[in-house]
Structure 1
Amino acid sequence: MHEITYVVGDATDPPGPGPRIIAHVGNDIGAWGRGIVQAITRRWPGPEREFRRWHETSAPAAGGGFRLGAVQLVAVEPTLWVANMVGQHGIMTRRGLRTSTGYEPGAGPPVRYDAIRECLTTLVAHARERDAEVHMPRIGCGLAGGEWALVEPLILETLGAHDIPVFVYDLVLPQE
């Protein structure tokens, strides 16, 4: 069993020369633009482009693989990948939860813990195949509205149980 290493820093700049996967949680409506994805796009345009293409061309309505619980791995450097993991249903707005079918005022947060578990289970196979470490922010706990006390055990039950090194980052912004 591999424990989680907590780091203060930027999850999009994982140190080390070895194979690394940066994992983050996205939504099932194809929206991209807030949270860690802003930093990912500033460094590498590929993950956003591939996420949008994946959503447009393989949504469940079209019989494709873009759905809650799915993972898309995008190479950004020779030994670095970004894992686009679909672990939230819609996005939270001032009007309520926005899904592909409209707004749901009063709905709970968009995080879907079962989908995150499925994503992490798939990520185990990707990490083992590449002998890679996994670096991530506190997935599902920012814009998705999840609770770390519920997400952390999912990471330990999946990646940790398979002895995959996991680094969880807390970003501290500079004071102005």
Structure 2
Amino acid sequence: MKTITYLKGDATNPQIEGNKIITHICNDIGGWGKGFVLAISTRWKNPENEYRKWFQNGENFTLGEIQMVLVEDNLWVCNMIAQHKIITNSKGIPPIRYEAVEKCMEKLSDEALKLNASVHMPRIGCGLAGGKWEEIEPIIERTLQKNNIEVFVYDFE
């Protein structure tokens, strides 16, 4: 089984040969404007535009769904809906939904296998979504790594 490779650097600029998918977590209310999405939007307009279109038409726009957006030759951005709303609720539950992360990762795994692509991400779900990496990492192991997909996690300096 492949292990996760941790790198220092920018997840929007993977320096690996071959097909690549950059993945990140989106919310289920159509909001795009804070966190890692800003780095994506700085580089490419399409992921945000496609996400907003998807939200507007509402088709399959639910937790656990993904959207693949081609941004360059051999490079896709995967919008994963795995965050419910954008703030911690009154019971102290953060927006991240781990079950949804797992469903998204299973779908991403299928896409990565089809494209023979490596997967690149920041520590998804651990910023504004309020998740814990100790919860996310085993999900990556159960989904992507189980299928022998190369995974690169970036810590921005």
Instruction: Please give the secondary structure, in 2, of the residue aligned with 1:168.
Output: strand
Q: Which residue of 2 aligns with 1:168?
A: 153
Q: Which residue of 2 aligns with 1:27?
A: 27
Aligned residues: 157
In 1, the alpha carbon distance for the partners of 2:86 and 2:63 equals 13
Q: Which residue of 1 aligns with 2:44?
A: 44
Q: Confirm or deny that 1:139 pairs with 2:124.
A: yes
In 2, the alpha carbon distance for the partners of 1:105 and 1:114 equals 20
Shift of 1:130: 0.4
In 1, the alpha carbon distance for the partners of 2:16 and 2:100 equals 29
Q: Which residue of 2 aligns with 1:125?
A: 110
**Cα RMSD (Å):** 0.9
Shift of 1:167: 0.2
Q: Which residue of 2 aligns with 1:79?
A: 74
Q: Which residue of 1 aligns with 2:83?
A: 88
Shift of 1:105: 3.5
Shift of 1:108: 1.4
In 1, the alpha carbon distance for the partners of 2:17 and 2:131 equals 32
Q: Which residue of 1 aligns with 2:14?
A: 14
In 1, the alpha carbon distance for the partners of 2:42 and 2:90 equals 33
AA aligned opposite 1:82: V
Moved over 6 A (4+): none
CA distances 1:96-123 after superposition (whole Å, capped 9, x unpaired): x4xxxxxx43441000000000000000
In 2, the alpha carbon distance for the partners of 1:29 and 1:21 equals 23
CA distances 1:101-156 after superposition (whole Å, capped 9, x unpaired): xxx43441000000000000000110000000000011111110001001000000
In 2, the alpha carbon distance for the partners of 1:87 and 1:7 equals 24
Shift of 1:17: 3.2
1:156 paired residue among 126, 141, 155: 141
In 1, the alpha carbon distance for the partners of 2:111 and 2:85 equals 26
CA distances 1:55-77 after superposition (whole Å, capped 9, x unpaired): 1102xxxxx21100000000000
AA aligned opposite 1:33: G
Instruction: Please give the secondary structure, in 1, of the residue aligned with 2:135.
Output: helix
Q: TM-score, normalised by structure 1?
A: 0.87
